[in-house]
Structure 1
Amino acid sequence: MNYVVLALPAIVCIAFVWLYVSRKPKQKAQIDEMAQLTQKIEAATREEQQRHEFLLDGLSDALFLVCDDGQFCYANIAARTMFGDRSLIGLAPQEVFANARFMEVIRECETTQQPVVKRIVLTQQLSPLGSREARGVNAWLLDAAPLPADFYPHARIRILLRDLTAEYQSEQVRKDFVANASHELRTPLAIIQGYLENLLEDHGLRDAEQAKRFLTIMSKHTDRVSRIVEDMLVISRLESGEAAALSIEPFEFVHCVHDVLERLEHLIESQQAKIDHSRVDPKLVIAGDRFYWTQVLFNLIENALKQNPRAGLKVTVTAEIVDDQIQISICDDGIGIPSNHLPFVFKRFYRVDQNHTNSAIKGTGLGLSIVKRAIEAHGGDISVSSVPGRETKFLIVLPNPQG
């Protein structure tokens, strides 16, 4: 019995050792199983994250995710490109945007835990892109919203940034166009109304000579209103879908020249001007819309005549193939255009107006804008150069489809 008592501790130890040894493989198997499960969960999480990032990288807008530590934990391709391909991960929003109005939107979202969307117009100096932004005034849409907990690991706020500058500029151009068009139409209509009121007075129609003079002036301004409306419609058609507005057919350019000279015959004769078109290649064929090319040539030659009303003006028209390109030029030996005006001559309603008297009927201010739009719609380019007191030259360059 004493031996049994003495051996009992040893027996108990042996039993525990046996139990431990017998269970160890099971515990190891469980640990291995848990490790494998953990790896599968991590792999699934990474795969889900990659799918999210793949979708987010496909967005054209810049997208940022702000994590719990207040720093960016993700920025899509558009965001990285917008900020010069710099690394944005680990930076705080204020380090990237550096603009108080942007930060106001983000802080409001953080405070209210509600989506905040604002359109922000900034000057170049206040642009979030800093020195990389060189377009003057620029516009942005900033959209900040809280995220659900399972959207992206540790992410709490989503920031979407869209560049609206092109749309903003287009909107401003439309507003300016409407304002300028209203002004241009108001002036001749006011003149017509004034002369009508004079004619309707008791003695307005009794003086036949005066009535004829009034009616002649009214007729000129009526023509001006008609021309403004016609030019506005042309620009509208070109800008609504420039290439789609064209009826492309091959034609000999020399016929276009003859049509324009016939239409301008009275103005050419009244100014005793000379139009030299001896360097227009009679075999030159252009694939384009003949209506718009007639308009282009008409506007350029008429512009030369109206800007230089002196007698004896010489206008030279050339059209030929040079270095596998079609080059068309209209050059006059008039007073020229001051260099400070050259960058703006193709803008709508812009006029140099150096030689118009108060009684002269001015152009619509849309002619050269139509010229540029029509040429660009044909895949070409136009430039202007001038030597004040000597000449002004408009050069059109087109790709030669047969070159």
Structure 2
Amino acid sequence: MTVYLLIAVVVALSAWIFWQQRQNSAKFQVQELRGRELRKEALSERDQLLDALGDAFLLVNETSHITFANASARNLVKGRKLMGRSIMEAFLDDRLSVAVMKCIRTGKPMQELVVLHSSHTPLGSAGEEGGSAWVIDAAPLSSSDDSALTRIVIRDVTAEHQAEQVRRDFVANASHELRTPMAIINGYLENLIDDDVVEDPVTSRKFLKTMRKHGARISRLVEDMLVISKMESGEAMTLNKNSFSLRACAMDVVERLEHMTSKQEAEIILDMEPSDLRVTGDRFYWTQIIFNLVENALKQNPAPGLKITVKGTLNEDESICIAICDDGIGIPSADLPFIFRRFYRVDKHHTQSEVKGTGLGLSIVRRAVEAHGGEIKATSTPGSLTCFTISLPPEPEETED
């Protein structure tokens, strides 16, 4: 009896132990499953957060293979596989992988600016024409499983790089534009100190006229710089709006450029519909707009025989269209998207001595047009026709109080 009782106790104890083990196993499985779900949720949140980044983001293991790529990185490859590929395979240019490999090797953060002159992104897909600039930022990361990871951020800095480039170009252009007339003025001043020259009124007057012309050139450069600085200072432009004749405004421009058009045997045609078309705006700025556009056409087309048309049209809805067109050599299609940027100069088909200026004129034009609530567009067929078209909305009707 005692034996049976002992056996029963052993069996009961074994069953209890087995039941406890089953309970613990089930509890462990639940905990493990919950842990997996939490890890999965954390990874999903991480992926969503990194996918929201505007910059490309990669994680690379100790063998330099990619273990994670966010949406921006995937967009740079346009469907090509990134996961599992090595950095050397993924990057288009060897210079791009240098910073990453150095970071993996030394365990220290690395950053590199790389300028690509081809129309491809760092990861090989087609990008913007004319090249691009990228910052490759790599740094080591510690992970929960002690595996060595490196995070890579690929940032597109093309706009900043181009802005810095055009600033440098502007300084060079402005220095040249200022140095030349200053040298001429100083040269004539030295001659005027000579008593023999002073006593010759004809020669003295000739020297003074030349000095005045180049002094005006310096004043124009300074004026352009002040105007564009004021326009881009963030302050609203103060417009002295009045109704004025567009033809009379254009005639002022024709008279100011008469010497230039005569020298180049160019012709400026005014075509207004109706002939007494009036515009409400700041006449000073509208004179600047038309002057800059017509002068730009003359500068870009020094060959004789150029025809420039200034056409104004009043539409049925009371909106106004102003087009300045010329039949010159045109603007290269690659330059068209950028011509209204500050300091940008279309001079790839000219020598530096042929085209004077700093690249501020068209930027001033765009800002002045936008200040009047209008917009300006440029179209060009090289060797045939170039048009700058300004669209002005109807003037709001005055309401009585």
- TM-score between the two structures when normalised by the length of structure 1: 0.77
CA deviation vs aligned residue, 1:299-329 (integer Å, no higher than 9, x gap)? 2345567868989978553233389974322
Name the CA distance, whole Å, in 2 between partners of 1:137 and 1:124.
5
- Structure 1 residue corresponding to 2:20, chosen from 26, 38, 42: 26
- Find out whether 1:229 has 2:207 as its counterpart: no
Contact 1:105 1:144 in 2 (8 A): yes
- Find out whether 1:161 has 2:154 as its counterpart: yes
Other-structure match for 2:399: none
Letter in 2 for 1:337: G
Inter-CA distance 363–256: structure 2 relative to 1 (3 Å threshold): farther
Contact 2:315 2:321 in 1 (8 A): yes
The percent identity for this pair of structures is 35
Other-structure match for 2:117: 123
- Find out whether 1:255 has 2:245 as its counterpart: yes
Other-structure match for 2:189: 196
Other-structure match for 1:177: 170
- Structure 2 residue corresponding to 1:379, chosen from 370, 375, 378: 375
Other-structure match for 1:88: 82
Unpaired runs of 5+ residues, structure 1, are none
Q: Secondary structure of 1:128's match?
A: coil
Offset at residue 139 of structure 1 (A): 1.2
Contact 1:315 1:331 in 2 (8 A): yes
Inter-CA distance 322–176: structure 2 relative to 1 (3 Å threshold): farther
Aligned residue runs from structure 1 range 221-370, under 5 A: 221-238=214-231, 246-247=237-238, 252=243, 255-262=245-252, 264-265=254-255, 268=258, 275-280=269-274, 282=276, 291-302=284-295, 315-321=309-315, 326-331=320-325, 336-339=327-330, 346=339, 347-348=344-345, 350=347, 364=357, 366=359, 367-368=361-362, 370=364
Offset at residue 145 of structure 1 (A): 0.8
Contact 2:277 2:312 in 1 (8 A): no
Other-structure match for 1:52: 46
Inter-CA distance 251–74: structure 2 relative to 1 (3 Å threshold): farther
CA deviation vs aligned residue, 1:319-346 (integer Å, no higher than 9, x gap)? 33389974322346xxx42357787695
Name the CA distance, whole Å, in 1 between partners of 2:193 and 2:346.
33
Inter-CA distance 149–207: structure 2 relative to 1 (3 Å threshold): same
Contact 1:141 1:162 in 2 (8 A): yes
- Find out whether 1:103 has 2:93 as its counterpart: no
CA deviation vs aligned residue, 1:253-305 (integer Å, no higher than 9, x gap)? x534423424644655995977534425756656x765433311122345567
Name the CA distance, whole Å, in 2 between partners of 1:132 and 1:351.
24
Inter-CA distance 291–65: structure 2 relative to 1 (3 Å threshold): farther
Inter-CA distance 23–74: structure 2 relative to 1 (3 Å threshold): same
Name the CA distance, whole Å, in 2 between partners of 1:399 and 1:161.
42
CA deviation vs aligned residue, 1:214-244 (integer Å, no higher than 9, x gap)? 1111111101110121123334445556xx6
Name the CA distance, whole Å, in 2 between partners of 1:145 and 1:314.
58
Other-structure match for 1:64: 58
Offset at residue 33 of structure 1 (A): 1.5
Contact 1:227 1:364 in 2 (8 A): no
Contact 1:64 1:74 in 2 (8 A): yes
Q: Secondary structure of 1:203's match?
A: helix
Name the CA distance, whole Å, in 2 between partners of 1:233 and 1:136.
31
Name the CA distance, whole Å, in 2 between partners of 1:343 and 1:24.
79
Name the CA distance, whole Å, in 2 between partners of 1:198 and 1:78.
65
Offset at residue 401 of structure 1 (A): 6.0
Q: Secondary structure of 2:31's match?
A: helix
Q: Secondary structure of 1:168's match?
A: helix
Inter-CA distance 33–385: structure 2 relative to 1 (3 Å threshold): closer
Inter-CA distance 120–300: structure 2 relative to 1 (3 Å threshold): closer
Q: Which moved more, 1:289-298 or 1:180-189?
A: 289-298
Name the CA distance, whole Å, in 2 between partners of 1:94 and 1:135.
24
Offset at residue 28 of structure 1 (A): 1.3
Q: Secondary structure of 1:28's match?
A: helix
Name the CA distance, whole Å, in 2 between partners of 1:69 and 1:386.
53
Q: Which is greater in Rg?
A: 1
Aligned residue runs from structure 1 range 3-14, under 5 A: none
Q: Secondary structure of 1:178's match?
A: helix
Inter-CA distance 18–249: structure 2 relative to 1 (3 Å threshold): farther
CA deviation vs aligned residue, 1:167-204 (integer Å, no higher than 9, x gap)? 11111111111101110111111000000011112433
Letter in 2 for 1:328: I
Inter-CA distance 196–126: structure 2 relative to 1 (3 Å threshold): same
Name the CA distance, whole Å, in 2 between partners of 1:315 and 1:125.
37
Inter-CA distance 323–62: structure 2 relative to 1 (3 Å threshold): farther
- Structure 1 residue corresponding to 2:70, chosen from 76, 92, 99: 76
Name the CA distance, whole Å, in 1 between partners of 2:202 and 2:277.
52
- Find out whether 1:205 has 2:198 as its counterpart: yes
Q: Secondary structure of 1:147's match?
A: strand
Name the CA distance, whole Å, in 2 between partners of 1:125 and 1:297.
36
Letter in 1 for 2:13: L
Inter-CA distance 267–70: structure 2 relative to 1 (3 Å threshold): closer
Letter in 2 for 1:187: T
Q: Which moved more, 1:377-386 or 1:97-106?
A: 377-386
Name the CA distance, whole Å, in 1 between partners of 2:57 and 2:161.
21
Other-structure match for 2:32: 38
Contact 2:269 2:308 in 1 (8 A): yes
Contact 2:119 2:129 in 1 (8 A): no
